[in-house]
């Protein structure tokens, strides 16, 4: 989609105003940008009469997502703990699982040597 230069400048100014209005100490995106429309979606090959066979899909506003991505670098998010692997750059829950598996293996191996 092509936007005229005037509109692009308007959007840029709008997001700049928003980003400067949020104190850095808060380190969060405004709640209004996180709201969305929840739509129930039937799971594949499931009975439509059972409520447990649905999952919720939330469609969030494009403006909120755009703001979130443009502002994310300014937030300078930090891990809560060194053990946080999910949503952490360069780490994943699979890596945490591997560490736990290795620790369990070493523990089991150590107890067999006694």
In a structure prediction context, what are the per-residue pLDDT tens digits for the chain, which is 114 residues long?
566 777 777 777 776 776 666 666 566 666 777 778 889 999 999 999 999 999 998 887 777 777 766 666 665 555 567 777 766 777 777 888 888 889 888 888 877 765
In order, the DSSP letters of the chain are ----HHHHHHHHHHHHHHHHHS-TTT-S--GGGT--EEEEEEPTT--TT-GGGEEEEEEPPHHHHHHHHHHHHHH----SSTT--TT-TT--HHHHHHHHHHHHHHHHHHHHT-
pLDDT at site 1: 55
Domain ranges of the chain: 1-77, 79-114
Instruction: Using alpha carbons, select from 3, 1, 29, 26 the residue that is nearest to residue 15.
Output: 29
């Amino acid at each position: 989609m092509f936007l005229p230069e005037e509109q692009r400048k308007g959007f840029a100014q709008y997001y700049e105003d928003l980003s400067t209005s949020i104190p850095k100490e808060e380190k969060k995106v405004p709640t209004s940008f996180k709201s969305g429309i929840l739509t129930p979606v039937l799971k594949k090959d499931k009975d439509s009469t059972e409520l447990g066979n649905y999952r919720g899909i939330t469609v969030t506003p494009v403006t909120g997502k755009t703001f979130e991505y443009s502002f994310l670098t300014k937030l300078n998010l930090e891990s809560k703990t060194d053990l946080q692997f999910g949503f952490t750059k360069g780490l994943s829950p699979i890596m945490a699982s591997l560490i736990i598996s290795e620790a369990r293996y070493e523990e089991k191996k150590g107890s067999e040597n006694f």
